[in-house]
Amino acid sequence: MPETSLSALAAQLAARQISSRELAQAYLDRIAALNPAINAFITVDAEKTLLEAAAADALIAAGQAGPLTGVPIAHKDIFCTDGWLTTCGSKMLHNFVAPYDAHVIRRFKAAGMPSLGKTNMDEFAMGSSNETSYFGAVKNPWNPAYVPGGSSGGAAACVAARMAPAATGTDTGGSIRQPAALCGITGLKPTYGLVSRFGMIAFASSLDQAGPMAPSAEDCALLLNVMTGFDPNDSTSLAREKEDYTRDLDKPLAGLRVGLPREFFAEGLNSEVAAAVQAAVAELKKLGATPVDISLANSRLAIPVYYVLAPAEASSNLSRFDGVRYGYRAPEYGNLDDMYSKTRAQGFGAEVKRRILIGAYVLSHGYYDAYYLQAQKIRRLIADDFSEAFKVCDVILGPTAPGTAFKLGEKSGDPVEMYLNDLYTIPANLAGLPGMSLPCGFDAQGLPIGLQLVGNYFSEAKMLNVAHQYQRATDWHARAPEGLK
């Protein structure tokens, strides 16, 4: 599999050097070869993929191709996909074939991009290691003893292993950025409301946001052009003029003010990660950027706030999985209450149940004010910190995760230790800000290190500009795991 960017693949397709079917088949072959070891995909359906690829070829032949027509993509199994098994990584939906397409899926179909399959994920997107999936853990392509991060672990792993040129992910507290960092790829979580959530199985509605995952920032910009846009089916979707996210990629960085939150370089950060991120700052300085010391004082409260609000919304969002209309139902039960409790006890995994319990607790009578309301107030303070910061800088830079990939099973027994992995990513979700992760080095064990950019609202083009300029000066993003070639 050659190292090919989306724009290069699109150019080859346009020049008829390769057909979409051939390209899809090449990726399907690679999936067949590598996926048994990596477990990045829950569902692969070559027949469907090739049909879609043939349709893309027809578009190209008819001269109706768009910028990415014919380029295949893998979709996180959180997006409802008409006629495809859509499990959300859960036993609860192990048999659920979606009867409709999510808005994101519709956009990629309309762009003529065939689906390579549905990628593995933490159950209902709850997890930072992809170990909570009912369909088994995903292995990190850089070292299969290590986790790929989560919850979009399958998406990150399949891109890192070049089983797909790109993938969709979703990010509620870091679920695009953290696995992107741990797998050495680029991933972007847009401003809340930029990408429709319709058809994306809800975890925490006020935080969930879909975004692209691919080797480079340029790829992500092209994918973002496809994904974004107003959707009347999502009341939180923003009605904005269509943007071209590639428009600023080539702008020089002279005069760019990069905010370095001192809280993100403090205790808890792995020294190799700190060094790699500092090296990236130095690189950006060479490109004309100026570092600015900033403070995000309330971000230390981000994890406790997140673990009140996200479970609260999740406990409600997951109430529909009751065994009545679709999905898993316990095979044996007595009365109605028994059917509910057995179905949910058997259909949900431990982490999901933990969060439903937390959520139901913080919303219950007598606790709501102390937890939910209080958390909402702190959420506002965290967002205010960012607003202050953006008065003195154009983009915020720091580590994506406190460390590199950890071993399978290493943290799965300690939820709080696991939650700390999202220390740096959660604040952007709480504030609704765009954030992205891009590769900036490797640790001594050869595991990738990610750096995070957080921009102001709707500054995706600016972030992509910074990332692209960095990626032109470095080659971290272009590296792929050796062992898999």
Partner 1 sequence: MKWETVIGLEVHTQLATRSKIFSGSSTAFGAAPNTQASAVDIALPGVLPVLNRGAVECAIKFGLAIGATLNRVNVFDRKSYFYPDLPKGYQISQLAKPIVEGGALNIVVGDTERTIRLTRAHMEEDAGKSLHEDFHGMTGIDLNRAGTPLLEIVSEPEMRSSAEAVAYARALHTLVTWIGICDGNMQEGSFRVDANVSVRPVGQVELGTRREIKNLNSFRFLQQAIDYEVRWQIETLEDGGRIEQATVLFDPDRGETRMMRSKEEAHDYRYFPDPDLLPVKLDEDWIEAVRATLPELPVAMQARFQQDYGVSAYDAAVLTGSRALADYFETAAQACSQGKLAANWVMGELSAALNKAELDIASSPVSAAQLGTLIARIQDGTLSGKLAKQVFEGLWEGAGEVDAIIEARGLKQMSDAGELEKIVDAVLAANPKSVEEFRAGKDKAFNALVGQVMKASRGKANPAQVNELLKARLQ
Residues forming contacts to partner 1 in the complex (CB under 8 A) are 79-80, 86, 88, 93, 96, 98-100, 102, 197-202, 204-206, 232-236, 312-313, 315-316, 319-322, 324-326, 336, 340, 360, 363-365, 368, 372
Which residue, 135 or 470, is less far from partner 1 as judged by CB?
135
Contacts of residue 274, Cβ cutoff 8 Å, sequence gap at least 6? 265, 399
Give me the catalytic one of 5, 19, 76, 129.
76
We find the least distance from the C-beta atom of residue 57 to partner 1, in angstroms, to be 30
Are 191 and 445 spatial neighbours (Cβ–Cβ below 8 Å)? no
At 180, is the secondary structure helix, strand, or coil? helix
Burial degree of 15 (CB within 10 A; 0-12, 13-18, 19+): exposed
Answer for the pair 328, 91: CB distance below 8 angstroms, yes or no: yes
Please state the closest distance from residue 92 (CB atom) to partner 1, in A: 9
Does the annotation count 175 as an active-site position?
Answer: yes
Please state, in angstroms and rounded to a whole number, the distance separating the CA atoms of residues 228 and 142.
31
Beta strands in 142-256 (DSSP E): 167-171, 186-189, 209-214
- Cα distances (angstroms) measured from residue 294 to each of 177, 370, 389, 395: 22, 30, 6, 11
Closer to partner 1 by CB, 304 or 446: give it: 304
What's the distance, Cα to Cα, between the start and end of the chain in Å? 8
Amino acid at 419: Y
Of 128, 129, 151, 459, catalytic:
151
- For partner 1, the closer of residues 313 and 351 by Cβ is 313
Q: Which of the residues 5, 152, 175, 216 is marked catalytic?
A: 175
Residue 337 burial class via C-beta count within 10 angstroms: exposed 0-12, middle 13-18, buried 19 and up: exposed
- In the complex, what is the shortest distance from the CB of residue 338 to partner 1, in angstroms, rounded to a whole number? 12
Is 151 catalytic? The answer is yes
Distances from the Cα of 170 to the Cα of 188, 370, 373, 469, angstroms: 9, 30, 26, 25
Q: Which residue has the tokens 């099973």?
A: 409
Q: Quick one: 101 or 460, whose CB is closer to partner 1?
A: 101
Active site residue 286: no
Q: Are 306 and 429 in contact (CB under 8 A)?
A: yes
Of 201 and 222, the one with the shorter C-beta distance to partner 1 is: 201
State the minimum distance, in angstroms, from the CB of residue 31 to partner 1.
25
Q: List the structure tokens of 278.
A: 């500092």
CB 20 to partner 1: min, Å? 27
Q: How far is the CB of 237 from partner 1 (least distance, A)?
A: 9
Sequence-distant (6+) residues with CB within 8 A of 256 are 284, 287, 288, 289, 290, 394, 395, 466
Collapsing DSSP to helix, strand or coil, 189 comes out as strand
Nearer to partner 1, 96 or 245 (CB): 96
When the beta carbons of 27 and 321 are compared against partner 1, the nearer one is 321
Closest CA to 93 of 169, 201, 234, 198: 201
Work out how close the CB of 319 gets to partner 1 at its nearest, in angstroms, rounded to a whole number: 2
By annotation, the residues acting in catalysis are 76, 151, 175
